[in-house]
Amino acid sequence: MRVVVGIDDTDSHRGGCTTYVGYVLAKEIMKKWGPRAFRDFPHLVRLNPNIPFKTRGNAAVALDLDIPEGDIEELWKLVIDIVNIYARREGKTDPGVAVAVGEIPERARLLYRMALTQVVSASAADRVGVRTWGGRGRVGAVAAVGAAFPKSTFELIAYREGERAPVAPELVQAMELFTYPYTFHNLDKRRVLIEPRGPDPVYYGIRGLTPQHLRYALALLEKWGYKPVGWVIYRTNQATDAHIELGVFFQDPYPYSFYRTRGIIVETRRISGRHLAGRLDNGIEFVVYRHLGKLAARLERCIGCDVVLYGGVKPRGESLYLYVERAYILGRYLAEKGRCPYCGGSLESLGRGKGWRCRGCGTIFYHVATKWLYDISPQDILLPRPGEWRHLLKPPEIDPTIPNFFTPEGVEWIR
């Protein structure tokens, strides 16, 4: 019998990790029902990162299983026990569990798409037709159960005991030399991106397109002395643009939603901290953090540009602001001064308020019609620097359809 288990919100800012709870649960299921119980790799499901009560990366975990029908209640009890033991119940943590038996309800599929971009209520999660337990985390748990991955990547997550030894940038650069682009998002210049900085039990996480390249990268790090106490390979929606391709977008912006809008930039200015603020002709006000690199610098100089902006909506005072995470420049409106209607000659200014004079026939005009030209030459995609990429953003150089060819059969994906 197919059973899909979802878990969410088991970590806190002081420690813990939902992927680790998923890892422990997968190990216990492996002991009880063996590797054939797993229909796919465990799923690491990234959701809307703008949720105000998330802890860190807003990730949920799902296990797609094949379990004897008579053992489903035993599995349910095992999941609850593992979550109760390993969840960090402090601060905003409010763990939840969801289990779907048989076919995944379409409402769960829809809730996943909504959870990629919106704030979803717990009552909505309770009405999709799956069994739920716990607190607010059951929203992410149901979304993980309903997650479909038309595109996916993998992440090998290694766990530690004791202090986290910092990984040298030179070693990550050497690892990338052998595995890129089948592993990616490893470095931002000399900043190591595979190594978290929080108090969680993760030693390092390597993102990639094939389990084999992830295992090879792990072997290299182990050879250099970075040996974890355990590891697991997750199939993920990271680096797939799932929120853009699958997410539900509303016409109007809502607080803490992921939003996209198209308009003409009519104003930009630097504000406190040298961050960029601006406004589109459709009334949307936006902010670009200074540390996002060329994203802020390019948009500052883009008055008149026709753009599509993506980002999270946050309230400030009584207004909503779009905090831009990426931008597409489609073109630019340029003002071209009109020509002489009599001879077609060009016009020169006589000074402020004095009009224009035709260079050809000498006629003086006090009002000149402006012609707007649409220039498509500045077309560009603007992304933050790699160290500021959020989990769902797809790097330009990878193809997230490749991992769909891999199955866990015959692959060591947990230890």
Strand bridging mode 43-46 / 230-236: parallel
Residue type, 327: A
**Chain centroid to CA 395:** 11
Distance CA 132, CA 171 (A): 44
Residues 245-260 as b/e (b if ≥16 CB within 10 A, e otherwise) read: ebbbbeeebeebbbbb
* One fold for 2-148 and 250-333+375-388: no
Domain 2-148 is found in CATH 3.40.120.10: no
Distance CA 186, CA 363 (A): 65
Domain boundaries of the chain, sorted by first residue: 2-148, 153-240+396-402, 250-333+375-388, 335-372
Residue segments in the chain with a per-residue pLDDT below the cut of 70: 369-370
For 121-180, strand residue ranges (E) read: 131-134, 153-159
pTM here is: 0.91
Distance CA 94, CA 328 (A): 37
| Helix (H/G/I), strand (E/B), else coil: 24 | helix
Question: Which residue in the block uniquely carries the two structure tokens 């308020």?
Answer: 353
User: How many residues can be counted in the chain?
Assistant: 415
Distance CA 175, CA 169 (A): 10
**Chain centroid to CA 410:** 30
User: How many other C-beta atoms can be found within 10 angstroms of the C-beta atom of residue 315?
Assistant: 12
- In sequence order, the β-bridge partners of residue 261 are 309
pLDDT of 320-352, one tens digit each? 999 999 999 999 988 777 788 889 888 888 988
Distance CA 391, CA 241 (A): 9
| Helix (H/G/I), strand (E/B), else coil: 357 | strand
pLDDT at 369: 65
Token pair for 247 = 């997410």
Token pair for 254 = 């809502």
Question: Which residue in the block uniquely carries the two structure tokens 């902006």?
Answer: 309
DSSP assignment of 305-340 equals EEEEEEEEEEEETTEEEEEEEEEEEEEEEEEEE---
Cα dist. 194→105, 176, 206, 303 in Å? 35, 11, 6, 37
With vertex at residue 329, the alpha carbon angle to CA 327 and CA 333, rounded to the nearest 5 degrees, is 140
The region that residue 410 occupies, defined by phi over 0 for left and psi between -120 and 50 for alpha, beta otherwise, is left
The architecture of the domain spanning 250-333+375-388 is: Beta Barrel (2.40)
pLDDT of 145-196, one tens digit each? 999 999 999 999 999 998 999 999 999 999 999 999 999 999 999 999 999 9
pLDDT at 361: 93
Token pair for 117 = 């971009």
Distance CA 18, CA 203 (A): 14
Average pLDDT, the chain: 93
The architecture of the domain spanning 153-240+396-402 is: 2-Layer Sandwich (3.30)
Question: Which residue in the block uniquely carries the two structure tokens 């860190």?
Answer: 56
| Helix (H/G/I), strand (E/B), else coil: 52 | coil
The region that residue 144 occupies, defined by phi over 0 for left and psi between -120 and 50 for alpha, beta otherwise, is alpha
The region that residue 411 occupies, defined by phi over 0 for left and psi between -120 and 50 for alpha, beta otherwise, is beta
